[in-house]
Amino acid sequence: MNIKRKSIFEDIYYHPYKSRFFKYSTNSKDDESFLQRLGLLKRLPIHQGCVNTICWNDTGEYILSGSDDQHLIITNVLNLCL
């Protein structure tokens, strides 16, 4: 059952848990209405080309990003350090 809500906050707050060990990335990746409403929060000047892929670590502390500049960069999202 896919219920349309008015805000991203409501989507996160009311999102159903699929397991005892809740992983939001797993539960939200197939929610197209949620993903389409996401916006840019911060622009980091770390790549020289378009970022084509990102991958979060299990704790949500680090992002691995790859871009057209042919570099892979690991960024700490808590303090924005490389």
Residue with the bigger pLDDT between 30 and 69: it is 69
Q: Tokens for 79?
A: 């303090």
Residue 8: per-residue pLDDT: 60
Q: Quick: pLDDT tens for 35-75.
A: 788 788 778 888 898 889 988 888 878 889 999 999 999 99
**2: Cβ contacts below 8 Å, ≥ 6 apart:** 33
Strand partners, 81: 76
**Mean per-residue pLDDT of the chain:** 75
Of residues 66, 68, 74, 70, the one with CA closest to residue 50 = 68
User: What pLDDT does residue 66 have?
Assistant: 93
The residue ranges of every structural domain in the chain are: 1-39, 42-82
**Higher model confidence: residue 19 or residue 56?**
56
* Band of pLDDT at residue 20, cut at 50, 70 and 90: very low
